């Protein structure tokens, strides 16, 4: 039978999702835990690979097995053998036609950014960081050029294995968070501390695409480039035209989107943790 799992993880300690020879990836740890529970090797396929340091709030995987066990036993059994920063959130028996990657109609990511003159401490590894204030209006104007179907070659990593750089960005939301109700927050060394959350939704994403877009958004937000520069970068179709790749720390894979007919969960406790 085919089993689908929803998996959450803190990516700080891992070399990304995809299996590596040293075994220090999320996939390696998940498959090792599944094998110990099932007492036989299990290979998983995921909805979307994540880089080293990137977090997953609802990665979806599937695997085939001849073992007949209740769905929730895969949750408890796998979590028994997983490290504390990886957890299976749910399990569901699915039709053989379901494919974690191919059945996805979209994917969602969020980037959480701390604006402060002082670097992160409690949030280290969980948020990106800027020490200059950001202009929300400028950032909103800049990202409008990215919406729709485009060739995103300018935001594509050199090692990207995607068959085409043409993707569709359906939504980019920007929200400022973490300030007390009715207050603007205290200035610290001339910078108003706050958190920014950037939400991205699209059909699929290229390797480093969001981190490269974030580098450009921050450059615009800090006034280093005008909003229309984003259109110039996009049109150039060259990685050299864009800003440097931004840190992975604040990037979260919120999960894939599927047709409701599959009956899969769309949110988890881990998903709601993110501010």
The catalytic residue positions are 51
C-alpha 245/C-alpha 69 separation (Å) is: 44
> Which residues does 5 contact at the CB level (< 8 Å), separation at least 6?
44, 60, 61, 62, 63, 74, 75, 78, 88, 89, 90, 91
Cβ–Cβ < 8 Å for 154, 239? yes
Angle of helix 136-143 versus helix 229-236 axis, rounded to 10: 30
Q: How many residues does this entry show for the chain?
A: 275
C-alpha 262/C-alpha 271 separation (Å) is: 20
Cβ–Cβ < 8 Å for 105, 203? yes
Q: Which residues lie across from 195 on neighbouring strands?
A: 114, 177
């Amino acid at each position: 039978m085919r089993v689908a799992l929803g998996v959450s993880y803190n990516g700080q300690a891992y070399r990304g999702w995809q299996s590596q020879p040293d075994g220090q990836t999320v996939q390696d740890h998940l498959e090792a835990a599944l094998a110990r529970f099932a007492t036989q090797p299990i290979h998983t396929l995921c909805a979307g690979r994540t880089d080293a340091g990137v977090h997953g709030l609802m990665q979806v995987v599937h695997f085939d097995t001849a073992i007949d066990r209740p769905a929730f036993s895969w949750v408890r059994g796998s979590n028994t053998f997983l490290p504390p920063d990886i957890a299976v959130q749910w399990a569901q028996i699915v039709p053989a036609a379901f494919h974690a990657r191919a059945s996805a109609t979209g994917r969602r990511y969020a980037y959480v950014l701390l604006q402060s003159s002082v670097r992160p401490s409690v949030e280290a590894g969980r948020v990106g960081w800027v020490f200059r204030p950001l202009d929300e209006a400028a950032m909103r104007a800049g990202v409008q050029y990215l919406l729709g179907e485009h060739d995103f070659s300018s935001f594509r990593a050199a090692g990207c294995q995607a068959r085409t750089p043409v993707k569709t960005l359906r939504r980019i939301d920007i929200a400022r968070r973490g300030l007390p109700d009715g207050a603007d927050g205290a200035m610290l060394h001339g910078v108003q501390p706050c958190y920014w959350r950037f939400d991205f939704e699209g059909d699929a994403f290229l390797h480093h695409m969001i981190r490269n877009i974030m580098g450009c958004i921050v450059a615009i937000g800090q006034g280093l480039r005008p909003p229309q520069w984003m259109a110039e970068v996009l049109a150039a179709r060259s990685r050299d035209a864009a800003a440097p790749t931004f840190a992975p720390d604040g990037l979260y894979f919120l999960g894939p989107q599927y047709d409701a007919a599959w009956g899969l969960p769309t949110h988890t406790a881990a998903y709601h943790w993110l501010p």
